[in-house]
Amino acid sequence: MSTLRITGGRVIDPANGIDKLCDVWVEDGKVAGVGAFKGKATETIDAAGKVVCPGFVDMHVHLREPGQEWKEDIASGSRAAVAGGVTSMACMPNTQPRLDHAGVVRQVVERGREVGLCRVHPIAAVSKGLEGKELTEMRELVRAGAVAFSDDGRPIWHAGVMRKALEYASTFDFLVIQHAEELGLTEGGAVNEGWISTQLGVSGMPAAGEDAMVARDIMLAQLTGARYHVAHISTRGAVELVRQAKRQGLRVTAEAAPHHFALTEQEVLNYNADAKMNPPLRTEADRQAVIAGLGDGTIDAIATDHAPHHEDDKRCGLSCAAFGIVGLETLLPVSLDLVRAGVLTLPQLVAKLTHVPAALLNLQAGTLGAGRPADITIFDEKARWTLDRDRLFSKSRNTPWHGREMTGRVTHTLLDGRVVYADGNVLG
């Protein structure tokens, strides 16, 4: 029997109300205890001066496999994940083929297990081919391993289809995740609509495009009683709509991506395609609203929307460049800014990165409860480093943070008690 002792760290396990300096004990891949333990360690990790917490749960990742493995695959995405402290990730269905039938969902699950670095949980398509017309076989997809439903990359644009999806999902308590975008207002847009889009001479995507879709969906959530989740919320209006929906007691939740609380549309002023994503970076007022939403609990979780793209899809002018940035390896340092700014306490931040998203997806993850799989992240809150896109574990380089100084770094990631990442190296 192997017994690992992680010693001397600040242990933060928000699901169990723990925030104290103590040891974490791991026995045969499971958490054996936090604090005192009557065992003898066969291995030790010194975590003095560091934070020890449950492995992060990222509920919004694009892994590009099957179909676009030159951008990312499940192996490279898993390496990027554990380098970022993520031990469970949910991957979106806009692959080729789409994750809209059981066979391909099963393949993704199996490939994730084979790689064995990070738990990979597919989010299956709401509609066949992500076309927004005909619903997929949701129950069959769940049996194959899907943990939620979305047409992400695209909105579930048709109100009738969305209503049916929510009705069906509510019967089985499935979560429906919306990429909230009213295409009638946003199609052809490259950046946020406003003075910057005008100045650059590129088409804009108005905040109203997101607000309108979230408003419609909240009506449908009320009509159906379903669990509805807004992906990558980015506008002041949408945050306020979710806040009101929660006050009404609706089962409406939301996630924010680090870029939307860290950056604004200013980033695209020099036509930087690595700051082009969908939804786009917005105004400072929107950014502040997202921060306020995180602070008051309107926004439940933080998720990366990790969206790897090859150089060729980015270096073709702002209007034609693909949407999205890689995010797994910058998740922690960018999110820690919320703690440094006093918006969240460290335990509150860890909650939004662990047990809260796990609960939304019904995953048995995100806590250090005794007997749970020992998925653990250890990080140095104060470590300073400079992001070099050529040293990312992801296959893609599309990050707006290249060359920027980061504060906070993951030092160890454990999956099932096994060290899968330590001090810059992915192991196994």
Active site residues: 305
CA distances from 344 to 20, 341, 364 (A): 17, 8, 24
Task: Candidates 104-112, 172-180, 215-223, 419-427: pick the segment binding Zn ion (CB under 5 A).
Answer: 172-180
User: Could you tell me which of 124, 316, 238, 281 has the C-alpha nearest to residue 230?
Assistant: 238
The residue count for binding Zn ion (CB under 5 A) is 2
Task: Candidates 64-72, 176-184, 253-261, 284-292: pick the segment binding Zn ion (CB under 5 A).
Answer: 176-184
Examine residue 58 and tell whether it contacts Zn ion (CB under 5 A).
Answer: no
The residue type found at 141 is L
Task: Candidates 26-34, 46-54, 152-160, 408-416: pick the segment binding Zn ion (CB under 5 A).
Answer: 152-160
Show the site string, 179-218: x = touches Zn ion by CB under 5 A, - = not.
x---------------------------------------
Parallel, antiparallel or unpaired: strands 405-415 and 175-178: unpaired
| Closest to Zn ion by CB, 179 or 395 | 179
| Closest to Zn ion by CB, 179 or 236 | 179
Residues with Cβ within 8 Å of residue 208, at least 6 apart in sequence: 182, 185, 237
| Closest to Zn ion by CB, 237 or 324 | 324
| Closest to Zn ion by CB, 50 or 121 | 121
Pair 176, 226: CB distance under 8 Å: yes
Task: Candidates 174-182, 188-196, 376-384, 392-400: pick the segment binding Zn ion (CB under 5 A).
Answer: 174-182
User: Could you tell me which of 87, 39, 148, 78 has the C-alpha nearest to residue 368?
Assistant: 87
Task: Candidates 140-148, 175-183, 238-246, 326-334: pick the segment binding Zn ion (CB under 5 A).
Answer: 175-183
| Closest to Zn ion by CB, 54 or 293 | 293
* Rounded distance between C-alpha atoms, residue 125 and residue 92, angstroms: 8
Q: Could you tell me the smallest distance in angstroms from the CB atom of residue 393 to Zn ion?
A: 23
Preceding omega of 333 cis (within 30 degrees of 0):
no
Q: Could you tell me the smallest distance in angstroms from the CB atom of residue 326 to Zn ion?
A: 15
Both tokens of 168, joined, read: 């069906």
Q: Could you tell me the smallest distance in angstroms from the CB atom of residue 336 to Zn ion?
A: 24
Q: Could you tell me the smallest distance in angstroms from the CB atom of residue 179 to Zn ion?
A: 4
Instruction: Please count the other Cβ atoms lying within 10 Å of the Cβ belonging to residue 174.
Output: 23
Q: Could you tell me the smallest distance in angstroms from the CB atom of residue 232 to Zn ion?
A: 6
Strand, coil or helix: what is 238? helix
Task: Candidates 120-128, 149-157, 359-367, 405-413: pick the segment binding Zn ion (CB under 5 A).
Answer: 149-157
User: Could you tell me which of 75, 54, 79 has the C-alpha nearest to residue 66?
Assistant: 75
Pair 413, 377: CB distance under 8 Å: yes
Both tokens of 81, joined, read: 């994940």
Residue 305 phi, psi dihedral angles, 5° rounding: 55, 40
Residues with Cβ within 8 Å of residue 242, at least 6 apart in sequence: 214, 218, 230, 233, 252, 253, 254, 293, 298, 299
Determine the distance from the C-alpha atom of residue 42 to the mean position of all C-alpha atoms in its chain, rounded to a whole number. Answer: 35
Both tokens of 228, joined, read: 């509805």
| Closest to Zn ion by CB, 204 or 280 | 280
| Closest to Zn ion by CB, 179 or 309 | 179
Strand, coil or helix: what is 325? strand
Show the site string, 335-374: x = touches Zn ion by CB under 5 A, - = not.
----------------------------------------
Q: Could you tell me the smallest distance in angstroms from the CB atom of residue 53 to Zn ion?
A: 27
Residues with Cβ within 8 Å of residue 425, at least 6 apart in sequence: none
Q: Could you tell me the smallest distance in angstroms from the CB atom of residue 392 to Zn ion?
A: 21
**Residue sitting closest to Zn ion (CB):** 179
| Closest to Zn ion by CB, 50 or 179 | 179
* Rounded distance between C-alpha atoms, residue 166 and residue 174, angstroms: 9
Binding test (CB under 5 A) with Zn ion, winner from 72, 152, 329, 375 = 152
Residues in the chain: 428
Q: Could you tell me the smallest distance in angstroms from the CB atom of residue 422 to Zn ion?
A: 32
Preceding omega of 357 cis (within 30 degrees of 0):
no
State the residues that interact with Zn ion by CB under 5 A.
152, 179
